[in-house]
């Protein structure tokens, strides 16, 4: 399917949609059009030239406001690469490219098209529900979504079973990249607990595209590739991976996104009349929602990642501390504590929300997941804040995001103090985050 590249401005009169007259939205659409590869959208043409698991559904949410066909295709293409086990891989290498490391040869997963062997935050069910709700013909949209819902049920099962074989309700990640916050300060202690067995400094390609100061260190890369080699050595077998991995952590972000997605998947299954499927998801949902409470670090007064190998919380508070709101899993006292954390971050930053709280040791406002503000995450955090009635805080995130984009364009991430644009350029999910926000405002006004 070749999607329309007609700029929204010329479609505005036909659809009557207010947001498409917005200059930023017009530019956002230009980014999504330029990154369109007929079937999927690349996050950034040079830095990330393939399909990424959780970028795609967020892009699809934005597309739902403009081009529903392309929105569906984005998710269909993603789920077409699902493994028999239920895993939906974090990268799908649809076409060869020598501008990215690690390529398929490092993973050795033997798939066609080639894929990585790990997953990413399971946000797709939430995005699919959104697309259906946005559709002008929700019956037809639901019908089209039916096979995707079957895929999603299998993927959620994979998370709840393969990544929680003991049935605790807390799922684990076996690689920092599964969190989608690749080199967060959160992963420093768990990663520093083992020695790397490779040196990949000469193989890296990221620094050809982005200033080294904004990217992870060499020893970090050596460790994350060591983890890939280890998983490959056990043939990507789920249980063997859990048993042998040198990194096993419960991430507040993945857990919260999964719980929210369970809720949305349950709603989709009910709409489709699949009561047995809905019942199954309801069991996972209630157990995993309750388990979020175990990620509350009473001493820190915040939700934090838990390192299962070390048996302790990581010593950092990151932006995922807000996401239990997004999961609808927070009581009144904790909601109040989260709101205070949010207010504190607002006083510490001109452009919130930093990926890691600025008073955390290791915070770096220019380096990737170690401090900068990421618009896609702002969008998710704002969703949770609104869910608990913290509208002013959600609005602050919206206006900070808008100011960042207006100042520095559609970059991958931004310095929370100067607003400087960092990382990749022409970034798809940054454009998507803005289009979703603009589209929702339009919806509220209509």
Residue 23 has which token pair?
A: 């200059």
Q: Is 48 in the site for ligand GLC (CB under 6 A)?
A: yes
CB 36 within 8 A of CB 3: yes
104 alpha carbon, distance to own chain's centre: 21
Q: Is 180 in the site for ligand GLC (CB under 6 A)?
A: yes
Q: Which residue out of 400, 412, 420, 425 is catalytically annotated?
A: 412
Residue 16 phi/psi, 5-degree rounding, is: 70, 20
C-alpha separations of 73 from 141, 148, 172, 274, 306 in Å: 12, 11, 29, 23, 36
- The separation between the first and the last C-alpha atoms of the chain, rounded to the nearest angstrom, is 30
The distance of closest approach from Cβ of residue 311 to ligand GLC in the complex, given in angstroms and rounded to an integer, is 27
| Residue length of the chain | 446
Q: Is 52 in the site for ligand GLC (CB under 6 A)?
A: yes
Q: Is 297 in the site for ligand GLC (CB under 6 A)?
A: no
The distance of closest approach from Cβ of residue 378 to ligand GLC in the complex, given in angstroms and rounded to an integer, is 14
- For residue 299, give every residue at least 6 positions away whose Cβ sits within 8 Å of its Cβ, in sequence order, or none: none
Angle between helical axes of 124-134 and 68-79 (0-180°, round to 10)? 160
Residue 97 phi/psi, 5-degree rounding, is: -155, 135
Q: Is 293 in the site for ligand GLC (CB under 6 A)?
A: no
Residue 46 has which token pair?
A: 């040079």
Q: Is 54 in the site for ligand GLC (CB under 6 A)?
A: yes
Residue 337 phi/psi, 5-degree rounding, is: -65, -40
Q: Is 206 in the site for ligand GLC (CB under 6 A)?
A: no
Q: Which residue out of 46, 161, 182, 218 is catalytically annotated?
A: 182
Q: Is 182 in the site for ligand GLC (CB under 6 A)?
A: yes
The distance of closest approach from Cβ of residue 397 to ligand GLC in the complex, given in angstroms and rounded to an integer, is 18
Q: Is 43 in the site for ligand GLC (CB under 6 A)?
A: yes
Per CB under 6 A, the segment of 24-32, 50-58, 68-76, 289-297 that binds ligand GLC is 50-58
The distance of closest approach from Cβ of residue 216 to ligand GLC in the complex, given in angstroms and rounded to an integer, is 10
Q: Is 55 in the site for ligand GLC (CB under 6 A)?
A: yes
Measured from the CB atom, the residue of 132 and 224 that comes closer to ligand GLC is 224
Residue 297 phi/psi, 5-degree rounding, is: -90, 100
Q: Is 182 a catalytic residue?
A: yes
Coil vs helix vs strand at 42: coil
Measured from the CB atom, the residue of 52 and 72 that comes closer to ligand GLC is 52
Measured from the CB atom, the residue of 214 and 393 that comes closer to ligand GLC is 214
The distance of closest approach from Cβ of residue 149 to ligand GLC in the complex, given in angstroms and rounded to an integer, is 23
Q: Is 412 a catalytic residue?
A: yes
Pick from 29, 118, 109, 38: nearest CA to 66: 29
The distance of closest approach from Cβ of residue 435 to ligand GLC in the complex, given in angstroms and rounded to an integer, is 16
What does the binding site for ligand GLC look like in residue numbers (CB under 6 A)?
A: 43, 48, 52, 54-55, 180, 182
Catalytic residues: 182, 412
């Amino acid at each position: 399917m070749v999607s329309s590249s007609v700029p929204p401005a010329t479609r505005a009169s036909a659809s009557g949609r207010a947001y498409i007259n917005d200059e930023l939205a017009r530019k956002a659409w230009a980014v999504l059009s330029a990154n369109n590869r007929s079937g999927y959208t690349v996050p950034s043409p040079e830095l990330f030239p393939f399909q990424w698991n959780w970028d795609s559904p967020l892009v699809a949410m934005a597309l739902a406001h403009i081009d529903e066909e392309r929105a569906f295709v984005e998710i269909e293409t993603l789920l077409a690469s699902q493994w028999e086990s239920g895993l939906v891989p974090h990268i799908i290498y649809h076409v060869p490219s020598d501008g990215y490391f690690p390529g398929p040869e490092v993973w050795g997963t033997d798939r066609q098209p080639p894929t990585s062997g790990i997953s990413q935050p399971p946000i797709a069910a939430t995005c699919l529900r959104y697309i259906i709700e946005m559709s002008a013909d929700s019956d037809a949209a639901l019908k089209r979504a039916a096979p995707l819902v079957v895929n999603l049920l299998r993927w959620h099962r994979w998370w709840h079973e393969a990544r929680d074989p003991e049935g605790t309700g807390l799922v684990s990640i076996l690689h920092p990249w599964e969190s989608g916050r690749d080199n967060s300060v959160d992963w420093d202690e768990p990663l520093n607990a083992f020695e790397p067995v490779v040196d990949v400094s000469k193989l890296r390609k990221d620094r050809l595209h982005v200033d080294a100061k904004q990217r992870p260190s060499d020893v970090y890369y050596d460790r994350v590739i060591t983890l890939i080699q280890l998983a490959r050595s056990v043939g990507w077998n789920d249980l063997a991976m859990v048993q042998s991995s040198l990194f096993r952590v419960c991430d507040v972000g993945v857990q919260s996104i999964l719980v929210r997605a369970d809720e949305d998947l349950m709603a989709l299954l009910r709409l489709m009349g699949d009561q047995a499927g809905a019942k199954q998801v309801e069991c996972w949902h209630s157990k995993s929602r309750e388990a979020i409470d175990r990620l509350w670090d009473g001493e820190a007064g915040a939700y934090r990642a838990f390192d299962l190998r070390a048996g302790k919380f990581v010593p950092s508070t990151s932006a995922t501390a807000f996401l239990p709101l997004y999961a609808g899993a927070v009581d009144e006292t904790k909601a109040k504590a989260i709101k205070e954390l949010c207010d504190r971050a607002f006083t510490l930053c001109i452009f919130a929300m930093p990926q890691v709280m600025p008073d955390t040791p290791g915070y770096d406002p220019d380096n990737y997941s170690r401090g900068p503000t990421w618009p896609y995450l702002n969008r998710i955090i704002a969703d949770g804040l609104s869910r608990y009635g913290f509208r002013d805080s959600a609005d602050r995130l919206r206006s900070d995001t808008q100011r960042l984009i207006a100042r520095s364009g559609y970059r991958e991430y931004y310095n929370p103090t100067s607003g400087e644009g960092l990382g990749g350029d022409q970034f798809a999910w940054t454009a998507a985050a803005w289009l979703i926000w603009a589209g929702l405002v339009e919806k509220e006004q209509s």
